[in-house]
Amino acid sequence: MKIKLDPIKIVKGFYSDAKHVASVSYKPDMDTFKRTLKVVLIGIIILGILGFLISFAINSIFLAPP
């Protein structure tokens, strides 16, 4: 079974999808934007701290002098 990839259909489909996303999206008000920004920043900070603690624990266990 041979699959044909038609670049014209791919571009038309992408354009159609992009047009649909642009038509249903909206610009958030400042309150919504600030709330989203706070949630994202808190998530990044939590993941950073978690990554640091895991890295610290692994380095302490495997790189500790005998």
Three-state SS string across the chain, please?
CCCCCCHHHHHHHHHHHHHHHHHHCCCCCHHHHHHHHHHHHHHHHHHHHHHHHHHHHHHHHHCCCC
Count: domains in the chain = 1
Note whether residue 56 is domain-resident.
yes
Q: For 20-66, how does the pLDDT look when each residue is reduced to its tens digit (9 = 90+)?
A: 999 998 889 999 999 999 999 999 999 999 999 999 999 888 886 66
Does residue 2 belong to any structural domain of this protein? no
Residue 1 lies in a domain: no
Domain that holds residue 19: 7-62
Provide the whole-model pTM.
Answer: 0.59
Q: Is residue 36 a part of any domain in this protein?
A: yes
Show the CA angle centred on residue 57, arms to residues 53 and 60, nearest 5°. 135
